[in-house]
Amino acid sequence: MEWQDRYKLGHEPMDATHREFVDLVNTLAQAGDGEAIAALEALIDHTDAHFAQENRWMEESGFPPLHCHVGEHQRVLASLRSVLSMARKGNPGLGRVVAGEMPAWFDNHAATMDAALAWHMRQVNYVPEGIAA
CATH number where 9 lies: 1.20.120.50
Question: Does residue 14 lie in a domain region?
Answer: yes
Neighbours of 47 (CB within 10 A): 21
Q: What range does the domain containing 53 cover?
A: 5-123
Question: Does residue 133 lie in a domain region?
Answer: no
Q: What would the 3-class secondary structure string for 86-108 be?
A: HHHCCCCCHHHHHHHHHHHHHHH
Residue 121 has pLDDT above 70, yes or no: yes
Residue 82 has pLDDT above 60, yes or no: yes
Domains in the chain: how many in total? 1
> For 115-120, what is the mean pLDDT?
96
How would DSSP label each residue in 69-83? Answer: HHHHHHHHHHHHHHH
Give, in order, the Cα–Cα distances in Å from 36 to each of 17, 40, 75, 125: 21, 6, 21, 41
> For 96-123, what is the mean pLDDT?
95
Question: Does residue 130 lie in a domain region?
Answer: no
* pTM of the entire predicted model: 0.92
Question: Does residue 73 lie in a domain region?
Answer: yes
Taking all residues of the chain, what is their mean pLDDT, rounded to a whole number? 94
Query: What was the pLDDT predicted at 129?
Result: 74
Query: What was the pLDDT predicted at 24?
Result: 97
Query: What was the pLDDT predicted at 128?
Result: 84
Question: Does residue 72 lie in a domain region?
Answer: yes
Q: How far apart are CA 51 and CA 27, in angstroms?
A: 19
